[in-house]
């Protein structure tokens, strides 16, 4: 009787270990497709959005550097003493394009420059892309140099042959703009 009991236990133990081994094998076999799905659903979109976010930061930095350099110029639109003293508009275009060209996958389509006049006493803020009609009055207004850069950010995976759906940011570029504003250091030249 002990023989049979031992043999039955042995058979039960053997079948339990085979079941455990079978379950381990199926877990390992299912782990690969699970990782692939996890990569497609979580990791790839995070990498894509991170790349686009980083490229947008480079575009914003180009606008910031262009506004900062343009605010130091002595004239707004007309070069005072070329090439040494360029106008704010020309230097902003040069700086924006140089900065964007330093990083790949950023294409600038347009650089717009504005004089933003803000009255100290409150009231309407004016924004113009042409020089001021009359001399600036720094006692009543604050004058900012604003740069708006329109551009395209290329996606992480380019799609030259249109084999993938044209989703902006995934298979085609995202069109966006960046804006920066800095106070003019020299307001006398805003009429030029």
Residue 109 confidence (pLDDT) above 60? yes
Question: Cα separations (Å) of 75 from 19, 122, 131, 136?
Answer: 83, 26, 9, 12
Dist CA 44 CA 155 (whole Å): 12
For residue 52, what pLDDT band results from cuts at 50, 70 and 90?
confident
Can you give the pLDDT at residue 60? 93
Please, which pLDDT band fits residue 86 given cuts at 50, 70 and 90? confident
What is the predicted pLDDT for the residue at 21?
54
Average model confidence (pLDDT) across the chain: 80
Question: What is the sign of the dihedral through the CA atoms of 113, 119, 120 and 122?
Answer: negative
Q: Given a cut of 90, is residue 170 above it in pLDDT? A: no
Q: Is the model's pLDDT at 111 over the cut of 60?
A: yes
Compute the average pLDDT of residues 90-114: 89
The pLDDT of residue 178: 93
The pLDDT, as a whole number, for residue 160 is 63
Cβ neighbours, 10 Å, residue 154 = 17
Work out the average pLDDT over 124-152: 88
Dump pLDDT digits (tens) for 60-80: 999 999 999 988 888 888 777
Confidence (pLDDT) at 104: 78
State the average pLDDT over residues 176-184: 91
Q: What is the percentage of the chain residues whose pLDDT exceeds 70?
A: 76
């Amino acid at each position: 009787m002990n023989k049979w009991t031992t043999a039955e236990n042995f058979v039960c133990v053997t079948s339990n270990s085979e079941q455990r081994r079978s379950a381990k094998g199926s877990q390992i076999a299912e782990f690969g497709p699970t990782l692939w799905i996890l990569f497609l659903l979580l990791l790839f979109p995070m990498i894509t959005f991170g790349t686009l976010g980083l490229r947008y930061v480079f575009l914003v930095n180009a606008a910031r550097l262009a506004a900062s350099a343009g605010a130091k110029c002595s004239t707004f639109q007309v070069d005072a003493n070329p090439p040494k003293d360029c106008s704010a508009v020309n230097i902003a275009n040069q700086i924006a394009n140089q900065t964007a060209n330093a990083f790949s996958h950023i294409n600038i389509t347009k650089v717009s420059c504005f004089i933003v006049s803000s009255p100290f006493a409150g009231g309407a803020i004016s924004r113009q892309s042409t020089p001021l009609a009359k001399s600036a009055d720094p006692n009543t207004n604050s004058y900012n140099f604003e740069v708006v850069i329109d551009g395209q950010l290329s996606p992480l995976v380019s799609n030259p042959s249109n084999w993938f759906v044209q989703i902006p940011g995934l298979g085609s570029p995202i069109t966006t703009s960046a804006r920066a504003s800095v106070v003019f250091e020299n307001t006398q030249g805003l009429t030029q």
